[in-house]
Amino acid sequence: MKAVIQRVSEASVTIEHQKVADIKTGLLILVGIEDADSEEDIKWLSSKIINLRIFNDEQGIMNVSVKEAGGDIILVSQFTLHAAVKKGNRPSYIKASKPDMAIPVYEKLIKQLQYDLGKLIQTGSFGADMKVQLLNDGPVTIIIDTKNKE
């Protein structure tokens, strides 16, 4: 599983001119799922996201997690995170899971994040054409691949 985590002062997701997710302070997370992703990957990634100390404390030092900051999360599925671009100029998405495999993993990640954060996780809609808007705060952007845990 690959995740792009962005600290935001605001973010939203719109589908067919309808805003489906909208937050102020928090994280906008893009997640790409592959067939090898497991329950262990879900738990590890959720814990890592919730406990990342990337929000500023009173001294302006990144030392506070999204949970401690009282922030919100938008989680958006994005198979293009698994694009392979070694050969040619047209990306290959062979490593990205097909919807029948990816949707259950995505739904489990949502539930795990909700459990770990203790509040509702807003989302886009799996497979939809989404317009994602954000104001990256910092900018702070962290990339995590669960296959590189060590």
Active site residues: 80
Q: Which amino acid is at 47?
A: S
Question: Which helix (H) or strand (E) element contains residue 40?
Answer: helix 39-51
Strands (E), the chain: 2-15, 18-23, 26-32, 55-56, 62-64, 72-77, 122-123, 130-145
Rounded Cα distance, 25 and 83, in Å: 29
What's the token pair of residue 4? 């792009």
Around Cβ 90, how many Cβ atoms within 10 Å? 7
